[in-house]
Chain A
Amino acid sequence: MTDTGLFIDGVAITLEGREILSLTRKVAPGEVLTVMGPSGAGKSTLLAYIGGVLDSVFSTTGRVFVDGVDVTALKPEDRHMGVLFQDPLLFPHMSVGGNLMFALPEAVRGRAKRAAHVAHALEGVGLAGLENRDPATLSGGQKARVALARVLVSSPRALLLDEPFSKLDADLRAQTRELVFSKARDSGLPVLLVTHDEADAEAACGDIVRIGA
């Protein structure tokens, strides 16, 4: 069982000789590790490193494993780390369904089968039948849910959440948070959440790491 989940093994990130953060943690499938810290503490840097998109001005040591596979040297597109940002960032030139179709792995073949997958994913976030909508016409909460459906339908190995609830108003925030965590739990995805909101950390019901304090 030690092989499953996300394993951050002795990761240290330095910028111009100054260490920004160092971390060793395991996140089991379905669990959430919350990384907290003030803005500028390097939370997003950690996510960029794990996602494989860190700017080359940073130097790094350590390794990242997903389900026992060392992904440290892999290209970002081969890591399958689903990302959610504080903005939904739906592709504005594609319909809601188009966004999900783009995310759906190629392994799912056949037009009907792919459409069924997408419909199912939208249903799962309570947005059944919105395939043909222009993302620009959705409400803020709907956009956040489409973004969630999009990342889930891509069959990621882990979820990286970069303050994904901070732009939603209080009501919507609790709701969306609940949806994201329950979906991750159901799919057995290890989740790395960075935030500066204590309520996010509490709702995550997992370990909390504080950095840059």
Chain B
Amino acid sequence: MLVANRGEIALRVIRACHDLGLRAIAVYSDVDRDALHVRAADAAYPIGAAAPRDSYLNAARIIEVAKRARCDAIHPGYGFLSENADFAQAVVDAGLVFVGPPARVQRLLGEKTAARRLARHVDVPVAEGTEPLRDVAAARAAANEIGYPVLLKPAGGGGGKGMRVVGRDQDFDAAWRGATGEATAAFGAPALYLERQIARARHIEMQILADGQGKVVWLGERDCSIQRRHQKLIEESPGPSVSENLRAKLGAAAVRIAERAGYVNAGTVEFLVDANGEFNFLEVNTRLQVEHPVTEVVTGLDVVALQLRIAGGEPLPFAQEEIVRRGAAIECRITAEDPLAGFTPASGLVALVREPAGPGIRIDSALFSGMAVPSEYDSLLAKVIAWGSDREEAIGRMRRALEEMRVAGIPTSLPFHRAALFDQEFITGRYDTEFVARWAARKTADLSDGTAAAAALAAVLAQRSRTERRALARADDPWSRAGREDALR
């Protein structure tokens, strides 16, 4: 199996391969030579420079490596080439197996307005919206007809890139320009369409699995409403607002869409659910999702291993009624971003890492001490997943895990996650897609005097240690500098 990805997801796929006794082949760009996925794989091949188009998006190069390494199949992970129908086709044309839905399914569902038509066809409700828009004038006219706020979305792909909420007519032109640019960069296609914006909605998605024999099952939903810039930060299952009745409806709707599309392998059908529990189809993600572990820990199923089995032609080994969901799971995406500075991305050297462990905690991570976080890729560093027999236990374990976790050297999203798990909206499960916009860092006023004293002392020691090392670095004479550094060791 060739794993055409990097970071935590490459490691995740390699683990599934090893669990099944398959050899896993990694590929890496120039800046990823030291990465964990390279070291975990049985073999590893360089595929080019750091820029994605020169390496992880270089389809021809990746297929060439797969053939040279005598691979039987390619797993694309998420992002990069995972939703590129031409790549899926090229893999098959090269005589290899593509782990994911076939190119024709990706084409059908990847064009978002075609997917909306398909959903309507099988009686799944769809948010009021348009077909791909000709130009900004036509778009503005459509926006005025639907009524503000509207959502400007790329027709060529999902995942939140190139998406804009437009609140007023006078902001429309700027949003159109920004979204067109982003959509072109992300999907190579500038086409945009419009949807009515549903205020205070929840983003609920349904995991499905389909085998090559035409059987489709749903595994359960994930609430992914906690997002910033339409990128998810926390996901959980079951959704705290989802009733048994709504779950069954979403599952059935997802299966109808998948059956109609002739879906094969793992996928996710996304919905927006409003405050009254009314749902609308959003899109289908024709790939493995970042947040798949949430579903894995509540169902006890290994979604990636099942992807490999389905790609190998095996039928699904269970029926819908045999899928049992136990307890509750939450995932926090720890990213190299500074939540105290508007989630600006950070790159640099990870000086120290300690990952949590213990009952109910799973870590899917690409982190290691000494890791240089490159600026070329997605900011996701690690996923912390907590399971509990109920939501309260999962929250308790997640708080504990986040408190145990240490990442030093670069800012990470940990302060946000630590605060979020104590947020009243989160605790009561009444959050929505605007949660991140409203978050505030936890106050240190409640630090005990002893804790504050220890922190103050450490702050002074840290400052002194840094001043000393700076003084050493300033010394002109390399011999005396080396001598003094030795003396300090």
The reply to whether chain A is a binding partner of chain B is no
Which B residues have a C-beta under 8 Å from some C-beta of A? none
